[in-house]
Amino acid sequence: MITDVSVSPLLLKSPYLDITLSNQTGKGTIFNMISGKSYEVSPAIVSILDFFRQPATTDALFDEMDIENDQLELAIAYLQRNGLLLDPSTEGWERFTADVMAVKNRIFGVDAYHERAEAVIVGIPFGKGNGKSMGGAKFPFHIREFSQNNNLLLKGADFLLFDELTATRLQPLFQNSKLVDYGNLFVNANESTAFVYAKIHHMASQLFKAGKIPAFIGGDHSISYPLIKAASETYPNLHVIHFDAHTDTYGSRYDSISHWGKVHHYGNFMTKCLELSNVQQVYQFGIRGFANAGTRPRPKQHIHWCHQVSEQLRQGKRFDLPDDVPYYVTFDVDVLDPTVLPGTATPIPGGFSLEEIKQLFSQLLPGRQLVGFDLVEANPDFDSTDLTTQVAMEILLRLMSYLTIS
Q: Which stretch binds Mn ion (CB under 5 A): 39-47, 132-140, 189-197, 332-340?
A: 332-340
Task: Report the residue from 334, 374, 381, 383 that binds Mn ion according to the rule CB under 5 A.
Answer: 334
Long-range contacts of 133-136 (CB under 8 A, 24+ apart): 133/345, 133/379, 133/381, 133/382, 134/220, 135/345, 135/379, 135/380, 135/381, 135/382, 136/218, 136/219, 136/220, 136/345, 136/376, 136/377, 136/378, 136/379
Instruction: State the Cα–Cα distance between residues 313 and 365, nearest whole angstrom.
Output: 14
244 binds Mn ion (CB under 5 A): yes
Instruction: State the Cα–Cα distance between residues 124 and 211, nearest whole angstrom.
Output: 20
Q: Which stretch binds Mn ion (CB under 5 A): 37-45, 59-67, 328-336, 388-396?
A: 328-336
**Least separation, in Å, of the C-beta of 128 and Mn ion?**
16
DSSP secondary structure string, 172-230? HHHGGG-EEEEEEE---TTS-HHHHHHHHHHHHHHHHHTT-EEEEEES-GGGHHHHHHH
Q: What mask of x and - would describe binding to Mn ion in positions 115 to 154, judged by CB under 5 A? A: ----------------------------------------
Q: Which stretch binds Mn ion (CB under 5 A): 33-41, 53-61, 304-312, 326-334?
A: 326-334
**Least separation, in Å, of the C-beta of 269 and Mn ion?**
10
Q: Which stretch binds Mn ion (CB under 5 A): 140-148, 210-218, 327-335, 395-403?
A: 327-335
Number of residues that bind Mn ion (CB under 5 A): 5
Task: Report the residue from 142, 202, 246, 265 that binds Mn ion according to the rule CB under 5 A.
Answer: 246
**Least separation, in Å, of the C-beta of 334 and Mn ion?**
4
CB 402 within 8 A of CB 169: yes
Q: Is the Cβ of residue 99 or residue 334 nearer to Mn ion in the bound state?
A: 334
Strands 100-101 and 38-41: unpaired
**Cβ neighbour number for residue 117 with a 10 Å cutoff:** 23
Q: Which stretch binds Mn ion (CB under 5 A): 50-58, 169-177, 244-252, 362-370?
A: 244-252
Q: Is the Cβ of residue 199 or residue 246 nearer to Mn ion in the bound state?
A: 246
Q: Is the peptide bond before 294 cis (omega within 30 degrees of 0)?
A: no
Q: Which stretch binds Mn ion (CB under 5 A): 31-39, 53-61, 239-247, 362-370?
A: 239-247
CB 32 within 8 A of CB 14: yes
**Least separation, in Å, of the C-beta of 187 and Mn ion?**
21
In sequence order, the 6+-apart residues with CB closer than 8 A to the CB of 140 are 123, 124, 125, 184, 217, 218, 219
Interior angle at CA 161, CA 151 and CA 398, nearest 5: 85
Q: Is the Cβ of residue 32 or residue 268 nearer to Mn ion in the bound state?
A: 268
Task: Report the residue from 220, 332, 337, 356 that binds Mn ion according to the rule CB under 5 A.
Answer: 332
CA dist 30 to 22, 25, 35, 47, 75, Å?
11, 14, 12, 12, 14
**Least separation, in Å, of the C-beta of 271 and Mn ion?**
14
**Least separation, in Å, of the C-beta of 195 and Mn ion?**
25
**Least separation, in Å, of the C-beta of 163 and Mn ion?**
28
**Least separation, in Å, of the C-beta of 285 and Mn ion?**
12
Q: Is the Cβ of residue 167 or residue 291 nearer to Mn ion in the bound state?
A: 291
Binding site for Mn ion (CB under 5 A): 244-246, 332, 334
